[in-house]
Amino acid sequence: MICMRNHSQKLNAEAIEGAAHYMGKGIAAVDLAGDEASYPPEFFRDVFALSHKRGIPITIHAGEAAGADNIYEAIHNLGATRIGHGVRLKESDSIFEMVASRGVPLEMCPVSNIQTKAVSGWDSYPIREYFNQGIKVTVNTDNPSVSGTTITEEYRVLSKRFGFTHRELAAIVMNGVDAAFLEQSEKMELKRNIFDELGRLGVSL
């Protein structure tokens, strides 16, 4: 369930309470999205403190339309265990190292990130750099109906534009499993299913 940056604290608190009511019934976590440049994450500490109180996992859109400091704030003060987009992480060496060492997943959305001009173009898109330097990259569609994309297309872009091999793409798939808001037993079952499917496709990790 998504809290919106341009909404009041009251409305966002209601979203958190709604998420708490439906946890395990279709809701897995809460998010913060919207105009990151105008509404930095520190404005929402109280809202996400409520999420902690309710025991709800958190992911935050950060480092997309504003700098790496927002990623630090999202992790340290809002409690994010995943970061939406994070394309501007490389603007801070220290925050980059923190994200890498903690294994905080980035929910990167290549097609959307180009469309929204989060980066200037494919030549400056940092996904290969992040992957090579040990960032736990995941690949996502963002809003597929708006971006006109599919997860298959996102992986095709990675192969075509950045030279990701089948084995590397499989590693990114497994990053997504590791990042999933699932119980450990569910996560292990999903991993087994994906390993089996990769084996049928002749792809090893």
Query: What are the backbone dihedrals phi and psi of residue 33, each rounded to the nearest 5 degrees, phi first?
Result: -140, 175
Burial 85-98, CB ≥16 within 10 A → b, else e? bbbbbbebeebbeb
**Which candidate, 93, 98, 74, 97, places its Cα nearest to that of 85?**
74
Q: Within a 13 Å sphere around the CA of 89, how many CA atoms are in the beta-carbon half?
A: 32
Q: How many CB atoms lie within 10 A of CB 182?
A: 14
Q: Active-site residue among 64, 73, 107, 168?
A: 64
- Annotated catalytic residue 153: no
Active site residues: 64
